[in-house]
Amino acid sequence: MKNISVIGAGTMGNGIAHVFAQNGFKVNLADISQAQLEKALATISKNLDRQIAKGTLTEDSKQSTLDNITTLTSIAEGVKNVELVVEAATENLELKLDIFRQLDEAASGDCILATNTSSISVTKIAAATRRPQMVIGMHFMNPVPVMKLVEIINGYATSQEVTGKIVDLGKSLGKVPCVVNDYPGFIANRVLMPMINEAIYSLYERVAGVEEIDTIMKLGMAHPMGPLQLADFIGLDVCLSILNVLYQGFGNQKYAPCPLLVNMVNAGYKGVKSGEGFYKYSAGSKDLLVSERFK
């Protein structure tokens, strides 16, 4: 594989394009928004500068990485003559089904279609195409250039040959691919989200405070950040939506989102992105301040 396309130039799309382009792939980066494409190129350039400052990249490699990326606002144009598409558009089922119908129409018959979805069924997305055996999950972690893991998700119909190719591809990007089957939450979120939910329940039931819960998990379990801080980073709305996918997908009460999480999301307290969640964030400050509501 040498030519690939990334659909969606947001947080994940720019990181995925960055990693492929840095590894010598020609990347067509497509988004419906021209402004997002420009923002993505600026972010990639800034992140490449960071790598140069760390001494892990040369100026020449930065230029060749940027030269490998072409931006487009048309999906159909973007997927002509590519061997792989990685879809990283907004997390919405109807939108993804529509994009995969378009990809199936526009991409060549031997092109593999991958999705970076965090929580939507890969099997359901694959069923919107006439090539479900060639549809697979490629779940990169944020920030993509830094995080080593790629969770590879086999849909119900994904062929072993396609899985093998995607595993080899993941390794060629310097990542560590782990193959799992398509059930709600895959592995990463199925294990992570109940832990976050339990941390929120512990706070809701006043077993302990925000700092105590996060400190116990950081110092006791060697987690780099506590579950409440991590939830703020991921976005409390995203955590709620993934918990609902687990709850509905398994029909099991153990995944029911904590009422405190539901209340916080309804009130607009979504974590870092809204300025407040379990902690309060102010621009330019690196201090971790517990929200007044939990003092």
Contacting ligand NAD within 58-87 (CB under 6 A): 75
- The b/e string for 181-216 (b: 16+ C-beta within 10 A; e otherwise) is ebebbbebbbebbbebbebbbbbeeeeebbbebbeb
Contact between 91 and ligand NAD by CB under 6 A: the answer reads yes
User: Shortest Cβ distance from residue 270 to ligand NAD (Å)?
Assistant: 13
Contacting ligand NAD within 135-174 (CB under 6 A): 139, 142
Can you tell me the distance from the alpha carbon of 204 to that of 47, in angstroms, rounded to the nearest whole number? 38
Asked if 139 is an active-site residue, the reply is: yes
Contact between 89 and ligand NAD by CB under 6 A: the answer reads yes
Q: Could you say which of 57, 66, 93, 95 contacts ligand NAD (CB under 6 A)?
A: 95
The smaller minimum CB distance to ligand NAD, of residues 22 and 43, is found at 43
Contact between 246 and ligand NAD by CB under 6 A: the answer reads no
The smaller minimum CB distance to ligand NAD, of residues 233 and 294, is found at 233
Asked if 266 is an active-site residue, the reply is: no
Q: Could you say which of 4, 5, 6, 9 contacts ligand NAD (CB under 6 A)?
A: 9
User: Shortest Cβ distance from residue 295 to ligand NAD (Å)?
Assistant: 28
Residue closest to ligand NAD when measured from CB atoms = 10
Q: Could you say which of 31, 104, 182, 237 contacts ligand NAD (CB under 6 A)?
A: 31
Other CB atoms within 10 Å distance of the CB of residue 259: 11
Contact between 189 and ligand NAD by CB under 6 A: the answer reads no
Q: Which of 28, 189, 197, 202 is catalytic?
A: 189
Whether omega for the bond prior to residue 145 falls within 30 degrees of 0, making it cis, is no
The smaller minimum CB distance to ligand NAD, of residues 202 and 232, is found at 232
The smaller minimum CB distance to ligand NAD, of residues 202 and 271, is found at 271
How many residues at the interface with ligand NAD, by CB under 6 A?
24
Q: Which of 151, 154, 197, 276 is catalytic?
A: 151
Contacting ligand NAD within 249-288 (CB under 6 A): none
Asked if 94 is an active-site residue, the reply is: no
Amino acid at 283: A
Asked if 161 is an active-site residue, the reply is: no
User: Which phi and psi angles does 122 have, rounded to 5°?
Assistant: -65, -35
Catalytic residues: 118, 139, 151, 189
Q: Give the residues lining the site for ligand NAD (CB under 6 A).
A: 7-13, 30-33, 36, 75, 88-91, 95, 99, 116-118, 139, 142
